[in-house]
A and B are shown apart, each in its own frame.
Chain A
């Protein structure tokens, strides 16, 4: 099956990891990317003034923005989970919610990954990057169970290896690669015929 969506989850060390990952993808990247980076602030705290999309945009050709509810998922666009909201996907669009935090986090990586697994199934590529909590491991396992592709940043190259370790423990991932090789891998996977993908889909 042809891939239709990339979902990415990260927390501690995520900013650097995202600049490398997103910076390595071309403006005409064929899929949308939905990204959860833990951004600290909860609803009750005043939000920090940091403009993450703007900072990331400096490093990338892709179009990066905070997701707005019901935005259409378009190729070459990066949808960041906004501070204080869970980011989920529906068929062809994103959805936001303020449901209770998962693993003390809102946005939560598991919430995004599980919705992607439910809606996009085997057409999902799940990507677990550096992170200091387990949030994301269960979601990645679910993507894998639904036939999607699971990629994990090599723990040794991760600023924090809790998430990569948990992801590797929780599921048989397809690829474990150093940060710098993830973008080239995605380009290769998506540029090549589907039959060359390691799961043989």
Chain B
């Protein structure tokens, strides 16, 4: 359909070779990530390493593990926030929680949890709804570095003002400041919130199912994947959800036009909450 200019075609080929090399040598699989944003991050890295071409980056990455570490950091986008999209948490509280209550024991999977803000947000909602003790939350990410932050439950104090506003909009029922203590410029979240949380490394591009879940939350992760990898992850989630289980996507993601579309009903179309129907 489009004819990329020669330069571009060459660069795209170099990117393909770089990703293939990383996969073969280091075992990280970025081959099915969405190309446009990936291309940008790789170009940034080429510049930051003061190289001229993606091929130059490939050579350096393959022979210098420290350079691979840096590339890995710049390839992963880890932004997150507590109670981001407050409407989602309101909907979980008012519509999903009442249905989860009917199970004696509830398993929740946060896939691509990054530094854990979503997990602590969910834990707070479950606690306020008196459901936390019957839940186990599995918080996974491919990146061990972000999982360390998530485990620690330490977030920048400067973010608390915005998080408090989000929490109130999310129909929080307590004082938000009750959930953390301040140490220096960090907010340390109450360890009771992670009592039932299992943090573990899991790569959605490579690893398989590991449990059955009543709720899977995977937000702003599949936007980094191409359609092939997204389809793989949807197949994995379908396999991992109990019948009538819930799937939450990011506010600008949709299940429409995927091969699992007919397996789900839109439970809350606006907040991107889907429910498995068979």
Contact = CB atoms under 8 A, between A and B. Distances in A.
Interface of A: 1, 4, 43-46, 66-70, 72, 82, 85-86, 88-92, 95-100, 111, 114-115, 118-123, 146-147
A97 B223 contact: yes
B2 A66 contact: no
A118 B40 CA distance: 10
Contact of A88 (B1, B36, B86, B253): B36
A89 B220 CA distance: 17
Nearest to A120: B2
Interface stretch (B53-61, B162-170, B188-196): B162-170
A94 to B, nearest CB: 9
Nearest to A116: B36
Given A46-B86, A70-B230, A118-B36, A123 B223 contact: no
Nearest to B161: A44
B36 A99 contact: no
Contacts of A85: 252
Contact of A146 (B8, B86, B223, B250): B8
Interface in B23-76: 34-37, 39-41
Interface in B164-181: 165-166, 169
A91 B8 CA distance: 14
A152 B43 CA distance: 27
Size bracket of the B interface: 35 or more
A68 B2 contact: no
Interface of B: 1-5, 8, 34-37, 39-41, 77, 79, 81, 84, 86, 159, 162, 165-166, 169, 220, 222-224, 226-227, 230, 250-254, 257
Given A69-B222, A98-B79, A121-B4, A44 B34 contact: no
Nearest to B86: A46
B223 A69 contact: yes
Given A69-B222, A69-B253, A95 B37 contact: yes
B224 A97 contact: yes
A99 B4 CA distance: 24
A41 B165 CA distance: 14
A69 B252 contact: yes
B37 A86 contact: yes
A119 B166 CA distance: 37
6 contacts: A4-B1, A43-B81, A90-B226, A95-B223, A96-B252, A119-B4
B46 to A, nearest CB: 14
Given A44-B162, A70-B230, A100-B79, 18 more contacts: A1-B3, A46-B166, A66-B252, A68-B252, A69-B252, A69-B254, A70-B227, A82-B252, A88-B36, A88-B37, A88-B40, A95-B37, A97-B37, A100-B77, A114-B40, A118-B39, A121-B5, A146-B8
